[in-house]
Every structure is written in structure tokens, then in C-alpha cells.
Structure 1
Amino acid sequence: MISKRLVAASFTATLCVASAVVTHFEGLRSKTYLDPVGIPTICYGHTATAVVGQVRSTGECQALLDADLTVAINAVDTLVKVPLTVERRAALVSFVYNVGQGKLAGSTLLRKLNDGDVAGACEEFDRWVYAGGVKLNGLVARRAEERSLCEVGL
């Protein structure tokens, strides 16, 4: 009984922290736009069902964010084989939300983390600041925040 409550509390805490990071860096845009590499995007960086010309309400955007973050949490929980603090888990969830599960799956960041090199894994966030070969200031700031969360408790 207590274990289920702890799992739920951990999930909720991760969702709250990751949501704060994602909404800060993505911002809310209710009409579809093309991201820096030309991918149709809407709301808080949602891409999976976004099509050019689409408009979403704030409530619809929040529902998309919650669903997308849940997918990202599940991806992190599947890929990471070591215990995570809420902050480290949230950093990884924000990262997956932004770049996708496949990028984390094949990353040095994940390998170092699963090998027990937490500090080295956290340093890897700094490498993920390019989109379409261009270094983006927004990604630099986002990765700095994710790295900071990753390093809590080190």
C-alpha cells in the first residue's frame, strides 16, 4: 500500500518539476508553428499530432502536455536502470520531451548514467544544444537547467 503511494508521489513530483521546465522553455503557442528544423509544433512543443493551421485551446494544450510528459516519464523509466532522484528524473523527462526517446536510448548520457557515472552523465547535457546543426541559445539555457537538476545531490 505505501509502495503504491510512494510511486504515485514520485510520478507526480517528477511530472510537476518536468512540466515547469518544459513550459518555461517551450512556452505556450496555441497555433501551429514550424520549429527551428521545420517540424510542425503546437502548444508546449507538441509535435506528434501537430499540423499546419491547427489551433488548440489552453485546456487542450495542457492535456497534450500531460500526455506527452507521461510518455517521456515512461521512456525514462524503461531506459534508466539505476535509481533516480526526482530532480534527475525530471531533467531526463524534459530532455526526452525535447529530443525523443530514441536520442536518449542511443546516448552517451544514458550509458554513463546506467554505468553509475552520474556526474559524467549530467555533463552530457551540454552537448545537446544543436538543432539542424545550429547552436541555439534556447537549447543552451534549457540544457543548463536540465544539467543543474541532474546534478542536485551530487
Structure 2
Amino acid sequence: MLSKRLVAASLAATVAIASAVVTHFEGLRTKAYLDPVGIPTVCFGHTSSAALGQVKTTTECQQLLEADLAVAINAVDSLVKVPLPVERRAALTSFVYNVGATKFASSTLLRMLNSGDVRGACAELDRWVYAGGMKLNGLVARRAEERQLCEVGL
């Protein structure tokens, strides 16, 4: 019984931290727009069902955020083979939310993490600051925040 409550608390903490990072860096835009590389995006960086011309309510955006965070957390949990403290799990969830599970799955970051090189894996976040071949200040700031979370306890 206690272990189930601890797992639930860990998940809730991960979601809370990752949500704070994602919403801060993505911002809320209820009208669909093209992101810096031309991908239709809406709400808090939602892309999978976004289309130009869409308008969402704040409630709809919150629901999309929760669903997208669940997908990202599931990807992290299925791909990472080493124990993760809440902060590192949240950092990786934010990262996967942004770059996608496919890129994470084939990344040096994941390979290093699963081999036990946590410090090296966290440092890899600094490399993920480009979109469409351009270094974006917003990604630099986001990755710095994610790296700080990733390194908690090291």
C-alpha cells in the first residue's frame, strides 16, 4: 500500500516539476502558429494534432498538456533503464516533451544515462539547442534549466 502511494507521489511530483518547466518555456498560445522550424503548434507547444487556424480554450490546452506530458513520462520510463530521482525524471520529461521520444531513444544522452554516466548524460542536454540548424536562445535557456534539474544530487 505504501509503495503504491510513493509511486503515485513520485509521479505527481514529476508532473508538477515538468509542467512548470514546459509551461514556462513553451508559453500558452491558444491560436495555432508555426514554430521556428515551421511545425504547426498550439497551446503549450502541442504539435501532434495542431493545425493552422485552430483555436483552443485554456481548458483544452491544459488537457493537451496533461496528455502530452503523460506520453513523455511514459517514454522516459520505458527507455531509461537506471533509477531516476524525481528532478532528473522531470528534466528528461520536459526534454522528451520538446524533442520527442524518437530522438531521445536514439540519443547519446540516453545511451550515457543507461550506461551509468549520469553527469555526462546531463551535460548532453547542452547540445540540444538547435532547431532548423539555428541556435535558439529559448532552447539554450530551457536546456540550462533541464540540466540543472538533471544534475540535482550529483
TM-score by length of 2: 0.99
Task: State the Cα deviation string for residues 64-118 of structure 1 (Å, max 9, x = none).
Answer: 0000000100000000000001000000000000000011100010001000000
Give distance in 1, aligned partners of 2:104 and 2:4: 27
Distance (Å, rounded) in 2 between the aligned partners of 1:138 and 1:150? 18
Which whole-Å CA distance do the structure 2 matches of 1:48 and 1:103 have between them?
15
| Partner SS for 1:33 | strand
Aligned to 1:84: 84
1:65 maps to 65
Q: By how many angstroms is 1:2 displaced?
A: 1.1
Paired position in structure 2 for 1:3: 3
Structure 2 matches for 1:90-109, cutoff 5 A?
Answer: 90-109=90-109
TM-score by length of 1: 0.99
Match of 2:145 in 1: 145
Given residue 24 of structure 2, which amino acid in structure 1 is its aligned partner?
Answer: H
1:43 maps to amino acid: C
**Matched residue SS, 1:32:** strand
Alignment of 1:120-139 (within 5 A): 120-139=120-139
Counterpart residue identity of residue 85, structure 1? P
Alpha-carbon distance in 2 for matches of 1:106, 1:10? 26
Tell me which residue corresponds to 1:112: 112
How much has 1:4 moved relative to structure 2?
1.0
Counterpart residue identity of residue 148, structure 1: Q
Give the distance between the partners of 1:30 and 1:65, measured in 2 at CA: 12
Question: Displacement, 1:33?
Answer: 0.2
How far 1:3 sits from its partner (Å)? 1.2
Following the alignment from structure 1 to structure 2, what is the Cα–Cα distance between the partners of residues 18 and 30?
Answer: 20
* Residue matched to 1:47: 47
| Identical positions, percent | 78
* Paired positions, count: 154
* Inter-partner Cα distance in structure 1 for 2:133 and 2:94: 21
Once residues 89 and 136 of structure 1 are traced to their aligned partners in structure 2, the CA distance between those partners, rounded to angstroms, is 24
Question: Gaps (5+ residues) in structure 1?
Answer: none
Q: Which is further off, 99-108 or 1-10?
A: 1-10
Gaps of 5+ in 2: none
